[in-house]
Amino acid sequence: MAISRRRFIHVAATGAGALLISPLSIPNVAFARADTERRFVFVIQRGAADGLNIVMPYGDPAYVPLRGSLAMDQANTVKLDGMFALHPSLAETAKMYAAREALFVHAVASPYRDRSHFDGQNVLETGGTTPYQVKDGWLNRLAGLLPHGPDAIAFAPSVPMALRGRTAVTSYAPSALPPAQDDLMMRVTQLYQHDAQLKPLWEAATATRAMVGDSGTRARQDAGTLGKFAATLLARDDGPRIAMIETAGWDTHSAQTQRLATTLKGLDALLAALRDGLGPQWAHTTVLVATEFGRTAAENGTGGTDHGTASAAMLVGGAVAGGRVIADWPGLRKADLYEGRDLKPTAALDTLIAGVAADSLRLDPQRTAAALFGQTVAQRPIAGLVRA
């Protein structure tokens, strides 16, 4: 089978350093020193995470009868306050909460009110009010607000929707292929030496390979290792200031108890690795963790939950004014549920993102909200969650 030159350079670069090149990820792979020391990381939970068992409202008397066998044993959870407790799999996150480096926003949702993963993720990532209304991502628009800084980066096999747009970004994902031999690298370099189109592509790939070194080949699917690898780039003076990390496994229609525990352990390891790997730069870092929508308040017939509406978002980082749960709690009685089945949204994910992004990167909040979500002054971004 014939292989195009563009496909060949993609495969060779993947073996060389696992850089997945797309038209949006070509420019400025060799980062320049940024104008800001602040870092903003968006971790997406693809699949609709069950906020009711991640941040458990044990103080709501309707919680235990509604959840059935999924109800968490309070003795095994970490009490956050008199109303909420944290899932025991988030042990390191609990330490961050105790250190006032983590907070949780409950009963939060994007404007999307149906239950399709694809449509919900599109609304979450584009910042629109309906699916496919907006053609670029809010995180890309956020990167465009930074003056002369390094590009944003996605630690994903391809550029996610949230990072697509006119601002140049980079994507990087670990490869399962063995590292390319030096002889192959040299031959490809010679092959494209005089190719005006492909030479810059190859130079970008090899520059990133040199920057990440051996750590990139070790960051397979292990969340902790991926977090450590991401931290090595984010901690650099010439590293990116905006990043996105994808996590999966949150669609717990059946056997939720064990599946959620396992997925949360991975997320916990990822966040802890970012904290430990960033070192002194952790003090300047904000990590937002959010999902496209929540899950049903009641257990289904297979030990799981179905697609819902509101969920819980997390903020972690040395820059976070943590140690609290923010919630205008709607209640879990039948009459209090959205459409009689879901946790009712009382907080807007858009205003949370706009406020946190602006405060994290020291941007004007109203300008940031307008750029990311087209919000009016009446829809004020949520402020005060990041330290000044």
Instruction: Assess whether pLDDT exceeds 80 at residue 4.
Output: no
Q: Is residue 384 part of a domain?
A: no
What is the pTM for the complete model shown?
A: 0.82
Q: What is the pLDDT of residue 190?
A: 79
For 50-61, give the DSSP string: -HHHHEE-TTST
Where in the sequence is the domain holding 240, given as residue range(s)? 34-168+221-373
Q: What is the mean pLDDT of residues 119-137?
A: 97
pLDDT in tens, 163-202: 999 998 988 876 555 555 566 677 788 788 888 888 887 7
Q: What is the pLDDT of residue 28?
A: 34
51 and 150: one domain? yes
207 and 318: one domain? no
Q: What is the pLDDT of residue 262?
A: 96
Q: What is the pLDDT of residue 180?
A: 59
Q: What is the pLDDT of residue 3?
A: 35
**Ranges 37-51, 64-78, 168-182, 327-341: which has the least confidence:** 168-182
The two most distant CA atoms of the chain are separated, in Å, by 71
Instruction: Assess whether pLDDT exceeds 90 at residue 272.
Output: yes
Nearby residues of 310 by Cβ (< 8 Å), 6 or more positions away:
51, 106, 107, 108, 109, 293, 294, 330, 338, 342, 343, 344, 345, 346
Mean residue pLDDT across the chain: 86
266 and 164: one domain? yes
67 and 5: one domain? no
- What distances in angstroms separate CA 273 from CA 226, 227, 230, one per listed residue? 8, 5, 9
210 and 91: one domain? no
pLDDT in tens, 312-327: 999 999 999 999 999 9
| Overall number of domains in the chain | 2
Q: Is residue 162 part of a domain?
A: yes
Dihedral sign, Cα of residue 172, residue 178, residue 179, residue 181: negative
